[in-house]
Structure formats: structure tokens, C-alpha cells
């Protein structure tokens, strides 16, 4: 069986890049261990909660951020860390050639319900500075903490899937994920319908109309509410994920973050034959203006994403 280190050596001669991915995988394995025992340790994920000894607990997203930071600080290839948990970028090794941007614990509002959460990361060349387009990424990946712990990553070729075994090793379980071109599943927070633009409303209406509607087929809805879990499902069996610009998120530019949510997920989805857009153009060419910038996100099965793009072209 191929493990992560073997796969990396077949994918890139760049030892620094491979080491950055291995550092994130090691952080993911450690976070998986913390999450597994969190209810016993009294770490509900809520800031200000107490453990069984009555001691104050750090929120799990802060703990996860510290774990990622510790692993990357040990790696001399990393120059800067950008994290959802930290207002400012953190300088690491002055000789480092690589920047890592991360959401250390995505979907953390689902933690108290023992629902899948994840760690997302993007690797960029230090030479390009903090604000680089997603197309400049050297690699990206995520860890999904579900019934199994999955590590999904891509350098420039295929998007590959690894699973954490009982001994703490990442074993390749899918060499190349392929997102089916067409799908009958969409993922969107329908509670936001009143804020949607005409394109989003048009696409969803067309889909829920089923066989009788313009799409001419039946759809089902799946929405976990953890981006990592929703995207992992799409990578495994297809579908579309939408967090579009709507009237409530308009002033902020969207809901999800460009550097450590949208770009890495678009990179992984495209490596699996899927498609991604903001509705107005590809996610990977958006010029960042801020490390915590938000952006509309639509990605998944190519045929479905094209249907949404067609609605935007008309709207």
C-alpha cells in the first residue's frame, strides 16, 4: 500500500513542498486525536467551557490552531503562516520558501454535535508574497475528521485521498478522485433563500422542480454545514456546493474565505475534474486584497457548475 510520503516522492522533486504537506498531515493526525477524546476531556468546542476538573478549556479551534502552528514552526521550509484564527500573518523561518494559509478547524459550529469537521490548507511560494491568486498555489489539501480521518491533497496533478490507520500512518485509499461530470445533489443553506440573487434562486428552483423542471431530472439536497464534509462528499460521488454572494453577505464580499477555504477547495475540486466559480469568473483567478478576504464559492460537478454559470450569464 502506498503511504503519503511515498506518494509525495512520486509527485514532486521539491523536498520543501513535500515537507510542508507532511507537516500539515502530522498536525491533522494530532488534531484527530484531540477531537476523538474531546467530549471526555470536557472540550465541547465552546470557548469558556470547563473540563471535569473545573479548569477553563481553550476552544478546539484555538487548540487546533496551536497544533498547526507548532508543526509548521518546526519546519524550516515555512516562511509565513496565515490562519483564520489569527488576525495577522505569523512570520516563521526567514529562509523558508513556502507560505501556508490554513483554516485549522473548519465547521467548528458542528463540534458539539459530533459532526465531521476539518482542517484546510493552501501552500504558496514565499516569493509571491501574501496576496497571491489561487492559481499560484503549489499544493493544497484538507483533513476530514469523520468516521474515518481522511487527508486529501493535490500538488499539480491528481487529487489523492489518504486514510489515517490505527498506527498513525496515512495510507492511500484513492489514488485519483474523479468528480462525476453530472450529479443530482446540491448543497446550499436554503435558510438563506430570502437573501439569494436571481441566479441562485433560478438554479435552485430549476433543480427542485425535478423531472418536470428545465433541468429535466430529480435532485436531492445534502447540506452538512461543514465545508470540508460537504466538499468531501462531492469529491467522492459528485454534486455541487454553493455559498454564493447574497444580499446579506454582499458588503463583505461573500461568506467563505478566499485564501484558506475557497482557493484550496477549488484547487482540489479542479484536480478531480470538477469546476469552480464565484458566479462571475473562476475562483482561482480572484486577486486577493486582504489575507482574510471573503468570496462567493460555487464548486463541484462540472455540468452543475456550468448550469449556475449560465444563470449568472443571464442575470
C-alpha angle with apex 97: 91 to 101, nearest 5 degrees?
A: 55
Q: Does 297 bind ligand FDP (CB under 6 A)?
A: no
Q: Per CB under 6 A, which region of 5-13, 21-29, 102-110, 262-270 contacts ligand FDP? A: 102-110
- Of residues 158 through 217, those in contact with ligand FDP by CB under 6 A are 189
Choice from 2, 44, 49, 109 touching ligand FDP (CB under 6 A): 109
Interface mask (CB under 6 A) for ligand FDP, residues 43-62, using x and -? --------------------
- Of residues 248 through 267, those in contact with ligand FDP by CB under 6 A are 256, 261
CB 119 within 8 A of CB 28: yes
Choice from 65, 137, 150, 226 touching ligand FDP (CB under 6 A): 226
On the CB side of 186, CA atoms within 13 Å amount to 25
Interface mask (CB under 6 A) for ligand FDP, residues 61-100, using x and -? ----------------------------------------
Q: What is the DSSP letter of 39?
A: H
C-alpha cell at 280: 462571475
What burial class does residue 303 get, using C-beta atoms within 10 Å of its C-beta: 0-12 exposed, 13-18 middle, 19+ buried?
A: middle
DSSP three-state, residue 96: coil
- Angle, helices 15-41 vs 60-73, to 10°: value is 150
C-alpha cell at 255: 461568506
Taking the complex as a whole, the smallest distance from the CB of residue 190 to ligand FDP amounts, in Å, to 10
Choice from 32, 92, 106, 235 touching ligand FDP (CB under 6 A): 106
C-alpha cell at 247: 444580499
Q: What is the DSSP letter of 112?
A: G
181: how many CB neighbours lie within 10 A of its CB? 14
Q: Per CB under 6 A, which region of 39-47, 175-183, 223-231, 245-253 contacts ligand FDP? A: 223-231
Residues 6+ apart with CB under 8 A from 190: 204, 221, 223
Q: Per CB under 6 A, which region of 32-40, 86-94, 207-215, 221-229 contacts ligand FDP? A: 221-229
Q: Per CB under 6 A, which region of 13-21, 38-46, 69-77, 104-112 contacts ligand FDP? A: 104-112
Taking the complex as a whole, the smallest distance from the CB of residue 227 to ligand FDP amounts, in Å, to 3
Q: List residues near ligand FDP by CB under 6 A.
A: 106-109, 189, 225-227, 256, 261
Amino acid at each position: 500500500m502506498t503511504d503519503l510520503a511515498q506518494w509525495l516522492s512520486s509527485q514532486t522533486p521539491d523536498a520543501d513542498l513535500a515537507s510542508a504537506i507532511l507537516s500539515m498531515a502530522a498536525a491533522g493526525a494530532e488534531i484527530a486525536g484531540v477531537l476523538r477524546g474531546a467530549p471526555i476531556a470536557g472540550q465541547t468546542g465552546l470557548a469558556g467551557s470547563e473540563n471535569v476538573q473545573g479548569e477553563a478549556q481553550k476552544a478546539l479551534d484555538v487548540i487546533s490552531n496551536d497544533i498547526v502552528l507548532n508543526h509548521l514552526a518546526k519546519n524550516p521550509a515555512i516562511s509565513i503562516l496565515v490562519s483564520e484564527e489569527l488576525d495577522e500573518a505569523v512570520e516563521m523561518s526567514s529562509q523558508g520558501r513556502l507560505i501556508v494559509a490554513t483554516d485549522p478547524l473548519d465547521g467548528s459550529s458542528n463540534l458539539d454535535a459530533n459532526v465531521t469537521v476539518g482542517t484546510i490548507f493552501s501552500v504558496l511560494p514565499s516569493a509571491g508574497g501574501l496576496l497571491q491568486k489561487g492559481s499560484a498555489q503549489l499544493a493544497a489539501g484538507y483533513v476530514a475528521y469523520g468516521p474515518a480521518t481522511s487527508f486529501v491533497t493535490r500538488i499539480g496533478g491528481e487529487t489523492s485521498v489518504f486514510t489515517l490507520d490505527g498506527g498513525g500512518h496515512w495510507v492511500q485509499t484513492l489514488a485519483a478522485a474523479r468528480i462525476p461530470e453530472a450529479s443530482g445533489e446540491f448543497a446550499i443553506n436554503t435558510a438563506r433563500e430570502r437573501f439569494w440573487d436571481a441566479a441562485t434562486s433560478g438554479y435552485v428552483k430549476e433543480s427542485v422542480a425535478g423531472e418536470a423542471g428545465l433541468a429535466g431530472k430529480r435532485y436531492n439536497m445534502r447540506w452538512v454545514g461543514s465545508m470540508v464534509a460537504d466538499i468531501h462528499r462531492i469529491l467522492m460521488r459528485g454534486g455541487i456546493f454553493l455559498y454564493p454572494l447574497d444580499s446579506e453577505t454582499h458588503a463583505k464580499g461573500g461568506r467563505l474565505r478566499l485564501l484558506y477555504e475557497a482557493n484550496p477547495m477549488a484547487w482540489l475540486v479542479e484536480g478531480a475534474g470538477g469546476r469552480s466559480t464565484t458566479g462571475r469568473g473562476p475562483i482561482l483567478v480572484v486577486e486577493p486584497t486582504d489575507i482574510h478576504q471573503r468570496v462567493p464559492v460555487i464548486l463541484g460537478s462540472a455540468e452543475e457548475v456550468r448550469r449556475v454559470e449560465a444563470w449568472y450569464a443571464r442575470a
